[in-house]
Structure 1
């Protein structure tokens, strides 16, 4: 069997039921569901090559063989770790729904993924990014007002690019300067933003958006130049292009501004739990990576400034 043929009948039926579970009961995004299924289709194909044609017959040995094969194929440790997680969640569901006698993945270990420290802009670089964008408003018109508002909101709130493009006007509490965000799994949270972001939003909504909006705009806060809701690709392009105009700034996308917001919050004295809530992280461990970024920057500053460093 080749990968292009896909899993056999028994696997396909169970994976279809699992997909329904992910969509209906866990309320995952289409992207997350597709990621889970891609991982499990890889497992199914490997298991069938070993003669395991029904997921009820999965064993820890088959699961470990699959992960070992991924390592042999040169897959990144992060990929293998993610697939191990997908498998454990799946085998637990098999056992709980009576599709397997036991949870085959209960003892399946993940390789420890090496986590690269996220790159963050310095405060000087952020100021350069925002000042350069603001300085071009006379030339750029509505596009510049939109770009400035997008950059200010991304940096002020640390929200994900997918959360940004999904914002509707009713999600903005403009008086209290709070934005309602729907994160992963449609989990709702409220994130504050400061006066500079508020001013940029007001300029965009009052002067920029009306010049672009049309019947396709709906309630979207941010629009593409043709009037419909802006997409993630366009936002990424905006961030890359605007950063390219800042001397010495690294080439980062919207997620880089999320990293930057988190790092600057911690460096400014915010506690880890508050930053976790602002970012919408399910696990505090995910947020803790930014403490390492702050420590690295502190060490670098010490080496530059202290006479006996």
Structure 2
């Protein structure tokens, strides 16, 4: 690409990281998507952003479809490039019509998977021993289910973020948005025992203030949380495809099923848009329908 395009690209990545204050993960996705688009242009013999027309935008989208990517992934990549051109238009008056005219693919209507109460009880039973690892895993599981926080939010929690007396945790969500989420007595008790008994043993001589630590004493990562959950699922003999975000889905689904209002659930989850929370109403309705069809004598 020409030097000007590379300059705009670098400025844009700096813009989303510093001015938009996006998370490291989100910035990495933007950077990857924009670089992928620039590589596409290079392969097509196009080296300046001014040369982009709607035809090139359509061709880029069709190449994404040819790779059998999910609609959500394609939509994200198009959004990334559209945002890049919007920045180039605002800063350098480069025409961004091509990607403004490009339509997003409709997302698949997939309902979020969640745990049933019986499955959750099996998970909790799988970490009921009093050894350091089980005490940590119990606290981690209780906090995820009690608050519905994202795994990235969980792994960034520090000791000062937890107020165990009030039962409140401070989390830093997407876009560096801070919120306070309450948790109940089960999580409160599990966290207290973990901090007092388990964490000092796991930490050994290592010093840091992250709440959850791995078995070597270092801060627990998102991959580490996945490993913990996989081990619990294996011990609980749950036969399903389980991933950490299911606990967030379960939190929201169980609250709405029990009568919680959607605005409250939206705030607890840290959703900026109510439409992101509304998907869980479809889950609860589908759950009711299936239960009815499976149990009513004349269904």
TM-score normalised by L of structure 1: 0.91
5+ residue gaps, structure 1, are 1-6
2:25 counterpart of 1:34 = no
Question: 1:275 maps to what in 2?
Answer: 265
**1:102, distance to aligned residue in structure 2 (A):** 4.7
2:152 aligned residue (162, 166, 174): 162
* SS of structure 1 residue aligned to 2:92: coil
> Any residues of structure 2 matched to 1:151-300 within 5 Å, and which?
151-300=141-290
- Count of residue correspondences: 299
User: Which of 186-195 and 241-250 deviates more?
Assistant: 241-250
Q: Distance in 2 between matches of 1:69 and 1:248?
A: 39
Partner SS, residue 16 of structure 1: helix
Does 2:139 match 1:149? yes
Whole-angstrom distance in 2 between the partners of 1:163 and 1:197: 16
Q: Structure 1 CA distance, aligned partners of 2:215 and 2:194?
A: 13
Aligned residues: CA RMSD: 1.7
Unaligned runs of 5+ in 2: none
CA distance in 2, matches of 1:113, 1:295: 20
Give the superposition deviation at 1:106. 1.9
| Offset of residue 168 of structure 1 | 0.6
Residue 14 of structure 1 is matched in structure 2 by 8
| Counterpart for residue 84 of structure 2 | 90
Return the alpha-carbon distance in structure 1 between the equivalents of residues 101 and 288 of structure 2.
Answer: 39
Alpha carbons of structure 1 residues 238 and 102: separation in structure 2 relative to 1, 3 Å: closer
Moved over 6 A (4+): none
Task: Please give the TM-score of this superposition, normalised by the length of structure 2.
Answer: 0.94
Per-residue CA deviation, residues 231-250 of structure 1 (Å, 9 max, x unaligned), is 22111111111122224452
1:301 aligns with 2:295: no
Q: Distance in 1 between matches of 2:137 and 2:46?
A: 53
